[in-house]
Amino acid sequence: MADVLVVEDDADTLKLVTLILSRAGYQVLPVERGAEALVQIAKKRPDAILLDIMLPDMDGFTVAQRLKTTMPDPPPILFFSARGSPEDQVTSRILGDGFLMKPVRLSTLLQAMRKVLEANEKKVEPPKN
């Protein structure tokens, strides 16, 4: 199944989300900081990123912006945050592929991840003759 990078600074939330996605069959790499996420993505591009907006070293929007300016084909990003102002939601949709407000239902998280991954697969499908 797909490789998912989870970037979340709250240890309990990181453990819970990692467990949920792992049990759903995803290969999960959990990290707590934006800089660590950028290092991991440079080593191996994940199929998707679940990215908190509020991180201790740089916000999730900065992580997404750096990926978009340095990678020809950045992975899809699903923003995940307790901060849900209209501006944050708009920025999430501009820089990423979706937004989830914490706390989120298990079914909503899994459905959103599935949608993001399916949409990304369609983007890279070879043209049909």
Domains annotated for the chain, with CATH where assigned, are 3-124 (3.40.50.2300)
Average pLDDT estimate for 11-31: 97
Residue 120 has pLDDT above 90, yes or no: no
Q: Which helix (DSSP H) or strand (DSSP E) does residue 48 occupy?
A: strand 48-52
Residue 124 has pLDDT above 80, yes or no: no
User: How much is the pTM?
Assistant: 0.92
Q: Are 8 and 32 in contact (CB under 8 A)?
A: yes
- pLDDT cut 90: percent of the chain above it: 88
Q: Are 27 and 3 in contact (CB under 8 A)?
A: yes
Average pLDDT estimate for 48-61: 97
Whole-number mean pLDDT of the chain?
92
Residue 20: the pLDDT is 96
